Amino acid sequence: MRNYDLVFLKHFSMVLAFLAAVTVGLILFAHHLNGLIPAEVSPVAVKQTEARIAPTGAVYAGSTGAAQQAAAVAAAAAAAASQVAYGGTTDGSVIFNNLCTGCHTSGAGGAPTLDKAHWTARIAEGKDTLYKHAIEGYHGPDGGVMPPKGGNPALTDEQVKATVDWILGQLK
């Protein structure tokens, strides 16, 4: 090898070693800076992450599982009871004016209006049938549709019955 080739290899090796040292130095400096900066995690972001990774269901097995399932059903019922519509009022006029008036005033979906002629055949079936249709929902042969509890599942059966009674009282 010639002398100038050895000089070139020596200089080239020194440049590569210098660049490698600069790269390692920059990596260590970046790691140090990253450790100094506190993590910015807002409480909202933490809650969203926890909600996103939370389990969507549970598995119940055996007698212990049956007890846990019963407890879960009771907790769901208690939560639903705390969410009773319209403050739990049994004033049929309040419920009618807030929920039922949309269909039973205009006749939308085949709903009978407060005209007694629309209710004669329904009244003949009895109050228990009217209560059942109002609570469970109804699809009439004429194409009329009554969603369960008027479309508001937060209503209690007593509230629905009070509203049916109020409607029947308005027909007289």
**The tokens of 113 are what?**
């209006």
Lowest mean pLDDT among 29-33, 56-60, 145-149: 56-60
pLDDT of residue 22: 98
Q: Which among 4-8, 19-23, 128-132, 154-158 has the top mean pLDDT?
A: 19-23
DSSP code for 142: T
Residues sharing a CB contact under 8 Å with residue 46, sequence separation 6 or more, in sequence order: none
Task: Supply the pLDDT for residue 143.
Answer: 78
Give the highest mean pLDDT range of 82-86, 101-105, 140-144. 101-105
Sign of the alpha-carbon dihedral angle for 67, 68, 73, 76: positive
What is the C-alpha to C-alpha distance for residues 155 and 164, in angstroms, rounded to an integer? 13
* CA dist., res. 10 & res. 4, Å (int): 10
Q: Residue ranges per domain, the chain?
A: 1-54, 86-170
What is the CB neighbour count within 10 angstroms for residue 153? 11
Please indicate whether residue 88 or residue 18 has the higher confidence score (pLDDT).
18
Terminal CA-CA length for the chain: 119
Nearest CA among 102, 97, 90 for reference residue 147: 102
CATH T-level assignment (fold) for domain 86-170: Cytochrome Bc1 Complex; Chain D, domain 2 (1.10.760)
Paired tokens of 105: 């005033």
pLDDT computed for residue 73 by the predictor: 81
